[in-house]
A = this chain, B = another copy of it.
Amino acid sequence: MKTAAIIGAGLIGQGWAIVFARAGWNVNLYDPNSQAAEKGLAMIGSLLGMLKQEGLLPDDTSAANRIRIAPTLPDALAGAEYIQESAPENLEAKRALFAEMDALAAPDALLCSSTSTIPASAFTGHLAGRARCMVAHPVNPTYLIPLVELSGAPWTAADHIERAKDILLDVGQRPIVVRKEIEGFVMNRLQGAVLHEAFRLFSEGIASGEDIDATIKHGLGLRWAFIGPFETIDLNSPQGIEEYCERYAGVYESIGASLGKCVDWNKALRQGLADERKRELPRDQLEAKRLWRDQKLMQMVRQLYHAG
């Protein structure tokens, strides 16, 4: 029986615990705040119940039984071969935590961080076991959106990254490897590219925020839910991607020249956008809309990953 240690019992830690437990792993859940650990475990119970109700867990699952609260960090790490840190985004805290984990964990255990903004090199360089440390950046909620970005420091060993990849595939996630440290990894860079152009189109009055959203959800996004941008253009020209590039490189390069100038996300622009969003979705409906989003996401996941 394999064991994962989940360090930090907030939203992200809860998501990781569900991912490993539903795949049959034992999970040691640790949080320095023992009340937070109890609260996290209760939340995990509700989420597992919801996933079962939605047909997203095997019927015979006893995932909840495989998760236990570990009273101390050494106890959490004992016997764990995969360790996922999901503490707050604080560089000094991560440096200290990784030093402790590196000293306590089994020599061949992998040490991964959920950070979305801090490169692994910033908090692992001082460690004897730095070759086994890396970022494993998940998307929220981790138990529904399978992407995980693996990003090592220059000293992270390639075979440890491969091992992390195999483990994450084994528990049902879809890991990718970010080969060089870069701000935003891959996902938030692609999201940033879309957001910057969306802000620009909005700020220049080309289209309303609602219409920019519609362009993605009623247009590009319908395919991007199951094929990526390269696959999309590979299939969009009879002979494939080379032919597509030959035909359209000129158009895209011309568009590219104007993409260059990213607009400043200034106060007035944000305010204009927020005002429009508030008209479309009054703030007292934000929470209901989030529940709607999660339901939709579950339908999507059921169809794309569970329908066989």
Residues of A whose CB lies within 8 Å of any CB of B are 117, 139, 144-147, 149, 174, 176-180, 182-184, 186-198, 201, 204-209, 211-231, 233-235, 239-242, 245, 249, 251-262, 264-265, 270-271, 273-274, 277-278, 281, 283, 286, 289-290, 293, 296-297, 299-301, 303-304, 307
A201-B189 in contact (CB<8A): yes
The 8 nearest A-B residue pairs measured at CB: A213-B228, A221-B224, A147-B219, A176-B211, A256-B262, A225-B225, A174-B218, A193-B197
Report which of B192, B206, B303 forms a contact with A186, defined as CB distance below 8 A: B206
A240-B277, A259-B259 known; 5 other A-B pairs, CB under 8 Å? A174-B214, A176-B211, A196-B256, A223-B297, A303-B303
- Within 8 Å CB of A271, what residues of B? 242
Docked pose: A230 CA to B186 CA in angstroms: 19
Cβ contacts under 8 Å, A303 to chain B:
299-300, 303
Contact between chains at A147 and B218 (CB < 8 Å): yes
* Residue from B198, B205, B239 in contact with A229 in the complex, judged by beta carbons closer than 8 Å: B198
Determine the chain B residues whose CB is within 8 A of the CB of A283 once the complex forms.
239-240
Would you call B195 and A252 a contact (CB within 8 A)?
yes
B192 adjacent to A255 (CB under 8 Å): yes
| A204 and B180 form a contact (CB under 8 A) | yes
The residue of chain B having its C-beta at the shortest distance from the C-beta of A205 within the complex is B179
Q: Is the CB of A198 within 8 A of B207?
A: no
Q: A286 to B179, Cβ gap below 8 A? A: no
Pairs across A and B, CB under 8 Å, 11 listed: A146-B219, A147-B218, A186-B215, A190-B212, A192-B255, A213-B227, A227-B296, A231-B277, A245-B265, A245-B274, A299-B303
Assembled-state Cα–Cα distance A50/B240 (Å)? 25
Chain B residues positioned under 8 Å from A241 (CB to CB): 270, 273-274, 277
Could you say which of B117, B249, B255, B264 contacts A189, with CB atoms under 8 Å apart? Answer: B255
Write the nearest CB–CB distance from A287 to chain B, whole angstroms: 9
Q: Take A230-B273, A270-B245, A283-B240 as given contacts and tell me if A224 and B220 are in contact as well, using a CB distance cutoff of 8 Å.
A: yes
Report the minimum CB–CB distance from A268 to chain B (whole Å): 12
In the complex, chain B residues whose CB is within 8 Å of the CB of A205:
179-180
Closest to A181 in B: B206
Q: A213-B229, A228-B216, A235-B289 are in contact. Are A253 and B259 (CB under 8 A)?
A: no
Do the beta carbons of B213 and A217 come within 8 Å of each other?
A: no
CA distance A183 to B201 in the complex (A): 12
Closest-CB distance, A90 to chain B (whole angstroms): 15
How many angstroms from the CA of A277 to the CA of B252 in the assembled complex? 20
Q: Which residues of B contact A235 (CB under 8 A)?
A: 286, 289-290, 293
Are A293 and B215 in contact (CB-based, < 8 A)? no
Which of B206, B253, B262, B307 touches A265 (beta carbons < 8 Å)?
B253
Cα of A300 to Cα of B164 in the assembled complex, Å? 32
In the assembled complex, the Cα of A187 lies from the Cα of B224 at a distance in Å of 13
